[in-house]
Amino acid sequence: MEENRIALVTEAGNGLGGMFADLLLEHNYKVILAAAKKSYQSLAKQCEEVEDCKVIEVDFTSNESLCRLKHVLYSYYGKLDLLLNNAEVVNGFGQKINQLVLEDVKYQFDVNFFAVLKLVQMTKPLLEKSNNPKIINVTSGLGDINKMKDKTFCYSDYSLTAYATSKAALNMYTVLQAREFKPTKISIHSFDPVVRKYCTYNSVILGEDVRNAFMELIV
Ligand SMILES: NC(=O)c1ccc[n+]([C@@H]2O[C@H](COP(=O)([O-])OP(=O)(O)OC[C@H]3O[C@@H](n4cnc5c(N)ncnc54)[C@H](OP(=O)(O)O)[C@@H]3O)[C@@H](O)[C@H]2O)c1
């Protein structure tokens, strides 16, 4: 029988992360969910019954917490087939320049961008042990400069400065990292879980085509 692949999903306590984790479980992955606080507690309960699911408490803004995650990954798993960077912080809707609080902006960059860099650095040796290692960075149209200039794009009038700029940084990072990884086995992808026709202003369903696009990446 085919050996289970191992996926690390950052956060799956809310919304989309949970749907991604379920799809991975359905497709022969062991899934490690890295979650914080209340999400950690509720996921830990939900996962008790699921054989291939493990939940680890991680705060992505804490180096100490990330070190503990590293220890678990290296000592109990020894390899990784998929890193799914899904965790996010989003706030500051409608804020103008005079309302921005720099500490909030930095916090969003910590979770949405710097944590991804740290996780890629941390897991690269484990990914190199897989036959077909992948990294998926979950992004948003709000971080796509061309979409945000297009008035017909449903989020184009959102002024979520910290969130949008952190996702734009993530997108550029993914492009640069893909170039670096090109000669290696590791592939890295940006994945926007909201296509325009499913863009429903804060309520997201995983549309059929988004689901299919995700499946193409994971199988
Ligand atoms: N939903 C949308 O409309 C939409 C659209 C486009 C793209 N996306 C992308 O899709 C992904 C998932 O979105 P979502 O709407 O499902 O997200 P969500 O419901 O906001 O969930 C994000 C999770 O990240 C966790 N998190 C935040 N800070 C953390 C930290 N310091 N340490 C550990 N975990 C932390 C949050 O935990 P807490 O619950 O404890 O805060 C939350 O459970 C994100 O990358 C997002 O950018 C979403």
Spacing, Cα 107 to ligand 1 middle (Å): 13
Q: Is 17 in the pocket of ligand 1 (CB under 6 A)?
A: yes
Counting atoms of ligand 1 from 1, which one is nearest the CA of 85? 45
In the predicted model, what is the mean pLDDT of the chain? 92
For the stretch 180-192, pLDDT in tens is 999 999 999 999 9
Which residue carries 């705060």 as its tokens?
59
Most confident of 6-15, 35-44, 117-126, 190-199: 117-126
Counting atoms of ligand 1 from 1, which one is nearest the CA of 200? 3
Spacing, Cα 164 to ligand 1 middle (Å): 14
Counting atoms of ligand 1 from 1, which one is nearest the CA of 59? 32
Q: What residues form DSSP beta bridges with 134?
A: 82, 187
Q: Is 140 in the pocket of ligand 1 (CB under 6 A)?
A: yes
- DSSP 3-state assignment of 87? coil
For the stretch 22-40, pLDDT in tens is 999 999 999 999 999 999 9
Spacing, Cα 183 to ligand 1 middle (Å): 32
Rounded to whole angstroms, the Cα distance separating 141 from 154 reads 9
pTM reported for the whole predicted model? 0.95
For residue 138, give the H/E element and its range.
strand 134-138
Question: Does domain 5-212 bear CATH number 2.40.50.840?
Answer: no
